[in-house]
Amino acid sequence: MPVYRIFRMKEHERQRFRIAPHTSGATMVKPNNFQEEGTVEAASFYAAWAQMKEGKTALAIGDILLAPSDEMRILKYIGFEEARWLIPEAKPEIVPPAPGAPPANAPASFS
């Protein structure tokens, strides 16, 4: 049986998530808005939800389950939907021009 990793949405983000309009397609989520909190062994995402619903650690709207295959689902009011981590792109490194070199945006001169 698969073991799902549990990621809990931080409370300040959960309030925004709950009032946000429903969107179609994969939900993009920021890793820093979640905290990993253990695992659950279950046959499916919904089996994990049902199993946890009976205990003190029930999943809440906005929580994520991550399958061993890296398939990720976020719990919404309508059930589990696809989610993906939003990883910001690295900013390009700005290299200063060499001394005496013309500026990068200078027009080309013809002799």
How would you write 9-49 as a 3-class SS string? ECHHHHHHHHHCCCCCCCEEECHHHEEEEEEEECCCHHHHH
Residue 111 has pLDDT above 80, yes or no: no
Q: How many CB atoms lie within 10 A of CB 56?
A: 5
List, for residues 31-62, the tens digit of each pLDDT value.
Answer: 999 999 999 999 999 999 999 998 888 999 99
To the question of pTM greater than 0.85 for the whole model, the response is no
List, for residues 50-99, the tens digit of each pLDDT value.
Answer: 999 988 889 999 999 999 999 999 999 889 999 999 987 777 777 776 77
The SS3 of residue 48 is helix
